[in-house]
Structure 1
Amino acid sequence: MWWKTQVRRKMSRRGLTGLETAIILIAFVIVAAAFAFAVLNLGFASTQKSGEVLKAGLEEATSSIELAGSVIATGEKASDNNMKVSNITLYVKTAVGKRPVDLSNNTLIISYMDPYKVVDKLTHGVQVEVSEIQGDGDSLIEYGESFKVVIHVDQIYGGIDNVQLKPNDVFVIEVKPLVGAVLKVERRIPPSIDPVMDLA
């Protein structure tokens, strides 16, 4: 009988050891599952964040506005009877699939550069005028709307007699909206300055 109690004790210990092993195994599985969940959750969060960063980067890199037609330059006779460039006109619209762009005086920066003059920010109402051609009356340019940007070269130089822009000179105009890439317009003045010139 004594040996039966010893066998029972060994059997119960063997069962207890198996139970302890099962508990430890279950604990490892639970810890591994929690760790896997944390890693997957972190992976999904970082993927979503990188997607947002990529979308914001693409939105910033792609142009929000584009030219809608030709660039028109107008010439005017100076006091010495020579024709000089007085105005440069651009027509702009939103790029396909882009959000509306604010073209108000507070947010839009327009710069001008030629071989003789560089202006980082043209003065609205004096050196540059932005007006709506087709739209709903606000300063936001939305899909289907167009705006006209007139650069007064004569005002940049302080009068038509002071304009130094000559035939075959290259000028650059940059339209910088608050969001999106810069619209850069680079054109060459024709060999002969006429009252109206289509610079393409």
Structure 2
Amino acid sequence: MEFDVVQGDIAAQSADALVNAAGTSLEMGSGVAGALKRGAGAGINEEATEKGPVDLGKVAVTDAYDLDAEYVIHAAAMAHYGSGEATRESIRDATRNALERADELGCRSLVIPALGCGVAGFDLVTGAELIGEEIGRYEPETLAEIRFIAYSDDEYETIRAATGTAEPSGMDGESESDR
């Protein structure tokens, strides 16, 4: 299985499935959910909330509407009510359940964000490590490509370092391929 960290807007990605960093209510607000809602259109929020609430760590699937994907997998890494915080366990469970659901749907490509690390406030380095570990130990049936997406430059560099996908660099910031 091919794994990479990419930078950009998740709503602009092309894949069989995109993962939404959801709360248990599945109501789409800001952050990743907001970007997906803007890209997909209003129907995605209606369908998602009809399928909610789900238990912490669980997932639900909707159509991708106007996004360049077949499905959006809403992974509930944070509680939507009360504290709204993510935990190590909820991030691991949401990641694993998203991967399993993508396989069940026959997806070959998947784009996943830093679940629980945005509005839920979980530490990005630890969250990226947990997600990377779950992806690394997952044995796919149909999934051939997973892209871990970061929005900002800082987030991109942090996720690459945390997942061990940072490009090796030599002295003076020169990469191996520059020599």
Give the number of the structure with larger relative contact order, counting CA–CA contacts within 8 Å between residues 6 or more apart. Answer: 2
Tell me the TM-score range normalised by the shorter chain: under 0.3
Q: Considering fraction of residues, name the structure with more helix.
A: 2
Pick the structure with greater CA Rg: 1
Q: Which has the higher strand share?
A: 1
Q: TM-score, normalised by structure 2?
A: 0.25
User: What TM-score do you get using the length of structure 1 for normalisation?
Assistant: 0.23
